[in-house]
Amino acid sequence: MAQRVQQIVGHFTLSHNHAVARVGQKSPEDVVVVVAVRTPMTKSKKGCFKDTLPEELLAAVFKAVLDKSKIDPNLIQDIAVGNVLPPGGGATVARAAALYAGIPDTCALNTVNRQCSSGLQAVAQIAHEIALDQIEIGIGAGVESMTFGYGAGAMPSDISEEVFSHQPSADCLLPMGIISENVAEDFGITREQQDAFACESHKKAAAAQAAGLFKDEIIPVEAKWADPKSGEEKTVTISEDDGIRKETTIEGFAKLKPAFKKGGSTTAGSSSHVSDGAAAVLLMKRKTAEKLGLPILGKFIRASVVGVPPRINGIGPAYAIPEVLKRTGLGINDIDIYEINEAFASQVVYCVKKLGIDKKKVNPKGGAIAIGHPLGCTGARQVSTLLYELRRTKKKLGVISMCVGGGMGMAAVLEAE
Give the whole-angstrom CA distance, residue 106 versus residue 325: 37
Query: Which entry of 172, 199, 351, 403 is annotated as an active-site residue?
Result: 403
Which of 77, 127, 70, 75 is closest to 379 using CA atoms? 127
Query: Which entry of 107, 116, 351, 377 is annotated as an active-site residue?
Result: 116
Active site residue 373: yes
Active site residue 273: no
Give the whole-angstrom CA distance, residue 152 versus residue 150: 7
Sequence length of the chain is 417
Query: Which entry of 107, 202, 273, 373 is annotated as an active-site residue?
Result: 373
Active site residue 116: yes
Asked if residues 335 and 411 have their Cβ atoms less than 8 Å apart, the reply is no
What pairing do the DSSP bridges indicate for beta strands 275-285 and 31-38? antiparallel
Contacting residues for 361 by C-beta, under 8 A, at least 6 apart: 335, 336, 337, 338
Residues identified as active-site: 116, 373, 403
